[in-house]
Chains A and B, each alone.
Chain A
Amino acid sequence: MDLFAALKNLKSIEADKNYTAKSRGIILGGNRRPLSFSGFVFRGLETAASLALAGLLIFAILGGIAAWDVSAPAGKIALNPENLRAEAEAIDIQIKLIGLDYEEILQVQSGGESTDASIGGAFNISNETTTPSVAVPRTITAPSIDEALELLSY
């Protein structure tokens, strides 16, 4: 026997093809390759970038909500009692007494006579109560609201 030829023939020995395919699939398909340090760092950077983007998106959404909130002051101010009070005080209530007839005011009798002190067209009040005497000067410029209200109360 030729020993070297016989040894060369041993090179014909092969593994079963089904086994080879299965083994190859298990080794490569399982992806059991552990990460190298650089791979681990890169994977960590990927994770960090993803988290940063997510945070940025959340921040943008919250910032948008805040900006919308600012642009709608009525709603915001409505929740603030101090602003409400300031707003109320700032309201300038101007009551216009249209057609106030001052001459009719002058007709108020002194001494408690009743009078039909109907005041102007703006106020049409029938006063059945005794009207006290009110000393009203003959010459009246523009009566103040307080004076007009006082007259109406009699």
Chain B
Amino acid sequence: MMDGENKLIESAIKGRPSAFGSLYDYYQPRIYRFVLIKVGRREDAEDLTHQVFLSAWENIKNYRDLGWPFSSWLYRIARNQIIDFYRTSKQETSLENADPEYFLAPATAQFDLSLKMDMEKVLEAIAKIKPEYQDVVVMRFVEDLPIKEVSLALNKSEGAIKLLQHRAIKELKKLLC
């Protein structure tokens, strides 16, 4: 949660683009990372991230009624966009069979070789676990979100989130060994 977020949200609800712009600046990298790790391709991640914030801006008046943390609301929109993306995607190749270089290269191009290799391995492993495991791993261990915000974003109890993250880490370790 960013400083002064509630005031910015109130201003954005009243229709002030500058307020939503500040929220965009803070949350866009987080949502982009979440989407990119889930879908794997930069072009798709850019399109989906754009749709997430476009939808958020158009429906921000609905946010006030929900009473959730703003991040949880954004992540929920992102998850729905990804679900729709997979539903309508023409890609028939499963993520497991995709060429890792094509799959991961755009996301890690700016890093040095050793770091890049480790990141690519982790990304490849994340791509192989269940979608709800992916969600928990990215939100809890990449973005450091509190369990409560993750539970609201995923519409699960906090206990369920704890269980999911335990199972997700176990699965990843198994894949990376």
- How far, in whole Å, are A44 and B73 apart by their CA atoms in the complex? 31
The smallest beta-carbon distance between A43 and chain B, in angstroms, is 11
Interface residues of B in 36-66 (CB under 8 A from A): 36-37, 42, 45-46, 49-50, 53-54, 57-58, 60-61
Assess whether B111 is interfacial by the CB under 8 Å rule: yes
In the bound complex, what is the Cα–Cα distance between A8 and B13 (angstroms)? Answer: 33
- The docked-state distance in angstroms from the alpha carbon of A23 to that of B21 is 11
B53: which of A14, A23, A35 is its contact (CB, 8 Å)? Answer: A23
Residues of chain B with a CB closer than 8 A to A1's CB: 118, 121-122, 176
Are B24 and A7 in contact, CB atoms less than 8 angstroms apart? no
The answer to whether A10 and B123 touch across the interface, beta carbons within 8 angstroms, is: yes
Task: Please give the number of chain B residues whose Cβ is less than 8 angstroms from any Cβ of chain A in the complex.
Answer: 43
Of residues 1 to 45 in B, which have CB atoms within 8 Å of A's CB atoms?
13, 15, 17-18, 20-21, 24-25, 28-29, 32-33, 36-37, 42, 45
Which chain A positions have C-beta within 8 A of B130? none
Are A33 and B119 interface neighbours, CB within 8 A? no
**How many Cβ-Cβ contacts under 8 Å join chain A to chain B?**
94
Do the beta carbons of A6 and B54 come within 8 Å of each other? no
Tell which of B82-90, B91-99, B137-145, B154-162 binds the partner.
B137-145
Contact A13 B108 (CB under 8 A): yes
Given the known interface contacts A3-B173, A10-B122, A14-B32, the answer about A27 and B142 at a Cβ–Cβ threshold of 8 Å is no
Can you pick out 24 interface pairs between chain A and chain B where the beta carbons lie within 8 Å of each other? A3-B122, A3-B172, A3-B176, A4-B141, A6-B121, A7-B137, A8-B142, A9-B111, A9-B115, A10-B142, A11-B143, A13-B37, A14-B33, A15-B28, A15-B29, A19-B46, A23-B28, A23-B46, A23-B49, A23-B53, A26-B50, A26-B54, A31-B17, A32-B54
